[in-house]
Amino acid sequence: MATPLGNPGDLSPRAREILAGADLILAEDTRRAGLLCSQCDIPARRFLSFHDHNESERQEEVLRLLRQGQNLALVSDAGTPLLADPGYRLVRACRAEGLPVSPVPGPSAPVTALSAAGIPPLPYTFLGFLPRDAAGRRATLSAFARTPGSLIFFERKDRLRESLAQAAELLGPRAVAVCRELTKTHEEFILGRLEKWQELPEELLGEITVIIGPPEQKERADEAGARRALDAVMAAADGRLKPKEVARRAQEMAPGWSAKELYELLTRA
């Protein structure tokens, strides 16, 4: 069931009823779940931690309780569970055994961010949390470089600038929205251009959702046009730029080409 992203007032009446009536609440963080229940005056009975590191070992115990007819509620730290949190394996196992599963809809960070960012919402692809390592992020972003829609992902504040730099290289010029602390006191939407990621403030606190707009070029320059763009940048630089910088600058004259593609074209034997 969905729980507030930050503002307790977003908890629905149905969600209150479910939490109050649950025999057991499965929570990614039992302390946060307990605090929510306390803030909302919900007389919750019992909590059991259920997260990435113990999902497999807890699953059979949870299934046993469900078989006994107990009423369980599954919540994540905030928002709608399963979208970027544990739980889908448990739901799949319940479905396989014929145990009832009922969604309790409510707050969701990707949808909340989309609703106020002013970036085209349809279609969109939600990537969850990007991989922690640079190679993993590169592989993920490359796989969706040609996706005709907006991309949404969660990112830690200490990896944000690096992730946006990689995204700019791989995806090309696009609109971007960095949405932080959604529904909380210090909620902020930083709107700008992906290729100007360096203009982002150095220090951003809180939980961050990133929306990258869809590709903006409807017609892609052919290879000859891309080579002309590279040649023009190299001629103007007179040997003073490294290949990666040449590729980045050539993007403006080679519609539809990412800096990565131009770099590969430039260095191709």
pLDDT on residue 258:
84
pLDDT on residue 93:
95
Structure tokens at 115: 């609703």
User: What is each CA distance from 23 to 13, 66, 74, 137, in whole angstroms?
Assistant: 18, 10, 11, 40
Q: Are residues 117 and 189 in the same domain?
A: yes
User: What is each CA distance from 154 to 26, 127, 142, 176, 257, in whole angstroms?
Assistant: 23, 8, 17, 13, 25
pLDDT on residue 218:
61
The tens place of each residue's pLDDT in the chain, 269 residues long, gives: 999 999 999 999 999 999 999 999 999 999 999 999 999 999 877 999 998 888 889 999 999 999 999 999 999 989 999 888 889 999 999 999 999 999 999 999 999 999 999 999 999 999 999 999 999 999 999 999 888 899 999 999 999 999 999 999 899 889 999 999 999 999 999 999 999 999 988 888 889 999 999 987 667 788 888 899 999 998 888 888 888 899 988 888 888 788 888 988 998 84
Q: Are residues 74 and 122 in the same domain?
A: no
For the chain, the distance separating the N- and C-terminal CA atoms, rounded to the nearest angstrom, is 55
152 lies in a domain?
Answer: yes
Q: Are residues 55 and 114 in the same domain?
A: no
pLDDT on residue 220:
78
Q: Alpha-carbon distance 36 to 63, whole Å?
A: 25
Sheet with 24-27: list strands edge to edge.
47-49, 24-27, 72-75
Query: Which CATH number characterizes residue 147's domain?
Result: 3.30.950.10
pLDDT on residue 219:
72
Strands 150-155, 124-129: pairing is parallel
Q: Are residues 206 and 240 in the same domain?
A: no
Q: Name the 3-class secondary structure at 176.
A: strand
Verdict on whether the full-model pTM lies above 0.85: no
Question: What domain range includes position 230?
Answer: 223-268
